[in-house]
Amino acid sequence: MDSRKMDLALLEKLCCAHGVSGYEDEVADIIIDLIKDNCDTVMKDAVGNVLAFKKGKKTPKEPIMLCAHMDEVGFSVKYINDDGTLDFLQVGMSGTVLPSKRVLVGKNRIPGVISSRPVHLSPDKSKAVKQSDLVIDIGAKDKAEAEALGIFGDYAAFCSEFCLLGDGLVKAKALDDRIGCAVMCILSSYELENDVYFAFTVGEELGGTGAIAATNRIKPGTALVLEGTTASDLYGYAEKDKVCKPRFGAVCPFMDGGTFYDNGLYKKVLELAKENDIMVQTKTKVAGGTDGAKIQRTGKGAKVVALSLACRYIHTSSSVGSVEDMESILRLSELLINSIV
């Protein structure tokens, strides 16, 4: 691999920002500031996507679009209880991972803890905690005190620090999909062979609202989706169910739960990886989904391929991924963009 490196300071800035689905403005503003001097045009569309265009050395036959989503899993305050605790909606995760997790509520980042009945007082300790049994405790003494904070209908995001873990791993919230956003920000600073559109989308965790709007506007012929994906390389999983693994390279799936990726582009990625001695792997299980499903089915359609980061504990407060894998994604993305005619 050449000297292209992941900018961990940039990734940390993106991961520590709050961008729960429907509330992506903070992340969008950071991205605009990062790429505005690298791109020929940068705009925010009506649904909140950040769309940018960078002129390359040549113009391909059809537009090339890179896509990464800005939103992260999180919560929305739906009701304030008499005791000052908050009932909430959740996006993209199971209630089983939530008890005792720290959160920050709203733009003022009001600290809170997701609370449930203590496990030793539960009538049936064998049953997983249901989301309906959980509340966010912000320390308010009653409903009036909580209502005075103006947080009804606001978001709550995980409170989780960004740090290096072991040898070459990163732990952070929202690696899904701030890694994709980081790769696109870095690529925007490169001199590229082809014109490229960058689509930083909203609402992927809610079904791909942003991807539909971006595809309708850009009308790509080829789209590269940059993502985070589930790594289950942990004790207790059968080898065939480990899906993909950190430290084994960029993940290029041939298919997932929503998309059969373009076979020609899939093979091209594997070919580029082999020619340039870049680690790459595929997914051993057809599951999950990306913005690729919406891009494929919108307008006249597009050829779609994905490059993803294998993330342990995805959709939790503490995702873990490999820096070396991030750099594989970065390098393969550049090579693929430059190879399209």
pLDDT at 122: 56
Instruction: Based on the fold, state whether residues 308 and 223 are members of the same structural domain.
Output: yes
Q: Which range has the worst mean pLDDT, 118-122, 152-156, 218-222, 304-308?
A: 118-122
Tens digits of residue pLDDT in 213-237 = 999 999 999 999 999 999 988 877 7
Q: Which domain holds residue 134?
A: 74-158
Instruction: Based on the fold, state whether residues 117 and 229 are members of the same structural domain.
Output: no
Tens digits of residue pLDDT in 265-278 = 999 999 999 999 99
Q: How many domains does the chain have?
A: 2
Residue 164 counted as domain residue: no
- Is 204 among the residues known to form the active site? yes
pLDDT at 242: 76
Closest CA to 48 of 80, 66, 26: 26
Residue 295 counted as domain residue: yes
Instruction: Based on the fold, state whether residues 142 and 109 are members of the same structural domain.
Output: yes
Taking the alpha carbons of 218, 223, 228, 229 in that order, is the dihedral positive or negative?
positive
Instruction: Based on the fold, state whether residues 53 and 90 are members of the same structural domain.
Output: no
Instruction: Based on the fold, state whether residues 40 and 108 are members of the same structural domain.
Output: no
H-type helices in 3-123, by residue range?
8-16, 25-35
- Catalytically annotated residue among 62, 72, 191, 204: 204
Instruction: Based on the fold, state whether residues 66 and 98 are members of the same structural domain.
Output: no
CATH classification of the domain holding 147: 2.40.30.40
Instruction: Based on the fold, state whether residues 81 and 184 are members of the same structural domain.
Output: no
Instruction: Based on the fold, state whether residues 282 and 335 are members of the same structural domain.
Output: yes
Residue 100 counted as domain residue: yes
pTM of the predicted protein model: 0.92
Instruction: Based on the fold, state whether residues 66 and 78 are members of the same structural domain.
Output: no
At residue 266, the 3 state secondary structure works out as helix
Where does the pLDDT of residue 151 fall: very low under 50, low under 70, confident under 90, or very high at 90 and above? very high
At residue 224, the 3 state secondary structure works out as strand
Instruction: Based on the fold, state whether residues 257 and 335 are members of the same structural domain.
Output: yes
- What's the half-sphere exposure (Cβ side, CA atoms, 13 Å) at 270? 11
